[in-house]
Amino acid sequence: MGGAAPIPASQGGSDVINGEMFIGSRSVRGTSGEARAVNPTTGETIEPAYRGATLAELDEACRLAWEAFDPYRSLEPEARAKFLEAIAQNILDIGDELIERAMAESGLPRPRLEGERGRTVGQLRLFAQVVRDGRYLNLRIDPAQPERKPLPRVDLRLRMIPLGPVAVFGASNFPLAFSVAGGDTASALAAGCPVVAKAHPAHPGTSELVGRAIQKAVQDSGLPEGVFSLIFDSGYEIGQALVADPRIKAVGFTGSRRGGLALMKIAQRRDEPIPVYAEMSSINPVILFPGALVERGEQIAQGFVTSLLMGSGQFCTSPGLILAIEGEALDTFIAGAGSALENSNAGTMLTPGIHQAYVEGVERLRSHTQVKPIAHGKAGERYQGVPSLFSTSAEAFLADKALAEEVFGSTSLVVRCRDEAELARVLDSLEGQLTASLHIAEADHDDARKLIPVLERKVGRILVNGFGTGVEVAPAMVHGGPFPSTSDGRSTSVGTLAIDRFLRPVSYQDMPEALLPAELRDSNPLGIDRLVDGKPVPGAA
- Are 314 and 383 in contact by the 8 Å Cβ rule? The answer is no
- Are 189 and 331 in contact by the 8 Å Cβ rule? The answer is no
Q: What is the DSSP letter of 247?
A: T
- Are 75 and 53 in contact by the 8 Å Cβ rule? The answer is no
Domains 20-30+49-280+493-499 and 285-464 share a fold: no
Q: One-letter amino acid identity for 132? A: R
What residues contact 132, with CB distance under 8 A and at least 6 apart? 77, 78, 81
- Are 186 and 497 in contact by the 8 Å Cβ rule? The answer is no
Give the containing element (helix H, strand E) for 268.
helix 257-269
| Blockwise average pLDDT, block size 10, the chain, 541 residues | 44 66 96 92 94 96 98 97 98 97 96 97 98 98 96 97 98 96 98 98 97 98 98 94 98 96 98 97 97 96 97 95 97 96 95 96 97 96 95 98 97 97 97 98 96 97 96 95 97 97 98 97 95 93 58
* CATH number at 20-30+49-280+493-499: 3.40.605.10
What distance, in Å, lies between the first and last C-alpha atoms of the chain? 64
**80 in helix, strand or coil?**
helix
Q: Rounded to whole angstroms, how far apart are CA atoms 414 and 430? A: 14
Query: Which pLDDT value is given to residue 540?
Result: 75
Secondary structure in 3-state letters for 224-235 = CHHHEEEECCCC
Q: Rounded to whole angstroms, how far apart are CA atoms 114 and 516? A: 45
Q: Is residue 48 reached through a cis peptide bond, with omega within 30 degrees of 0 on the bond before it?
A: yes
Which residues make beta-bridge pairs with 536? 531
Q: Which of 85, 225, 279, 519 is catalytic?
A: 279
Query: Which pLDDT value is given to residue 13?
Result: 37
Number of H helices, E strands in the chain: 14, 23
Query: Which pLDDT value is given to residue 10?
Result: 46
Q: Rounded to whole angstroms, how far apart are CA atoms 92 and 209? A: 11
- Among 200, 142, 189, 144, which residue's Cα sits nearest to residue 162? 189
Q: Rounded to whole angstroms, how far apart are CA atoms 393 and 464? A: 24
Residue 316 bears catalytic tag: yes
DSSP string, 427-465: HHHS--EEEEEEE--GGGHHHHHHHHHHHHHHEEEEEES
User: What are the boundaries of each domain within the chain?
Assistant: 20-30+49-280+493-499, 285-464
**159 in helix, strand or coil?**
strand
Query: Which pLDDT value is given to residue 541?
Result: 58
Query: Which pLDDT value is given to residue 179?
Result: 97
Residue 147 bears catalytic tag: no
**22 in helix, strand or coil?**
strand
Give the containing element (helix H, strand E) for 393.
strand 388-393
Tally of CB atoms within 10 A around 245: 22
The burial of 229, by beta-carbon neighbours within 10 Å (0-12 exposed, 13-18 middle, 19 or more buried), is given as buried
> CATH number of 285-464: 3.40.50.150, 3.40.309.10, 3.40.50.620, 3.40.50.1980?
3.40.309.10
How distant, in Å, are the alpha carbons of 87, 172, 240, 449 from that of 262?
A: 31, 17, 9, 38
Q: What is the DSSP letter of 354?
A: H
Q: Rounded to whole angstroms, how far apart are CA atoms 94 and 419? A: 56
Alpha helices in 178-256 (DSSP H): 183-191, 204-220, 237-244
Q: Which of 316, 326, 431, 519 is catalytic?
A: 316
